[in-house]
Amino acid sequence: PLSSEELIAKEKANMDENRFNHCVRVSETARKLAELNDYDPEKAALAGFVHDYAKQVPVETYIEVIKSQNFDQDLLNWNRAIWHGIVGSYFIKKDLGITDPEILQAVYRHTTADVEMTTLDKIVFMADFIEPGRDFEGVEEAREITYANLDDGVGYQLAHTLEFLIEKRNKIYPRTLEAYNVWSIKK
Ligand code: DGI
Ligand code: FE
Ligand code: FE
Ligand code: FE
């Protein structure tokens, strides 16, 4: 495995400074959410740090990997917003040597969410949404809800993201819609 210095250097080399700083803030927020939800803070911090590792990988590289590495070919109908989680986990394993399936799955699910989510999946999904650099209508409410109850935060984010995508007349990734149907309902 890479030393933490090597990991940080590889992460930095794969993205611009704004994206790197976002990853650091997601890492710190994930650590905090882990402490509040009885999860391993170090593991949450690592997952948060690498979650957007592949956000700026070139589109041509994604297309080659989707075609050659047994991914669902329907992914070719989507874009980097969707790829950097689902296919991003492949790059995190290959380039960063991270093999922990829980971390790879949390990266895989961090954009689309899923019908079933582990505590780590929820932590990374929510840390990405509420990290201190985020500034959108409702972010303060999102923070309050998430710090009070992680599951409620997931439902809030999915509803917010769907509203945003529909407002822009964007396509909804079917998994995101399925996740919304589960998590938007208060349990
Ligand atoms: O990578 P980040 O910007 O930090 O955050 P993210 O991984 O949560 O990605 C957010 C982007 O992904 C945002 O622009 C909305 C987009 N997105 C999320 N779900 C869907 C989606 N885009 C489409 N087209 N369809 C979805 O279902
Ligand atoms: Fe992301
Ligand atoms: Fe997100
Ligand atoms: Fe992110």
Q: pLDDT of 10-64, one tens digit each?
A: 999 999 999 999 999 999 999 999 999 999 999 999 999 999 999 999 999 999 9
Neighbours of ion ligand 2 (CB under 5 A): 52
Query: Which of 165, 167, 169, 171 should be mutated for ligand 1, with most atoms under 8 A from CB?
Result: 165
CA pair distance 74, 54, nearest whole angstrom: 19
Closest listed ligand to the CA of 49: 4
CA end-to-end distance (rounded Å), the chain:
40
171 lines ligand 1 (CB under 6 A): yes
Structure tokens at 178: 């399925």
Q: Which CATH number does the domain 4-137 belong to among 3.90.1150.10, 1.10.3210.10, 3.40.1410.10, 1.10.3720.10?
A: 1.10.3210.10
Contacts 24+ apart (CB under 8 A), 89-95: 90/65, 91/53, 91/54, 91/57, 91/65, 92/50, 92/53, 92/54, 95/10, 95/14, 95/53
| Residues 108-162: tens digit of each pLDDT | 999 999 999 999 999 999 999 999 999 999 999 999 999 999 999 999 999 999 9
110 lines ligand 1 (CB under 6 A): yes
Q: State the pTM of this model.
A: 0.96
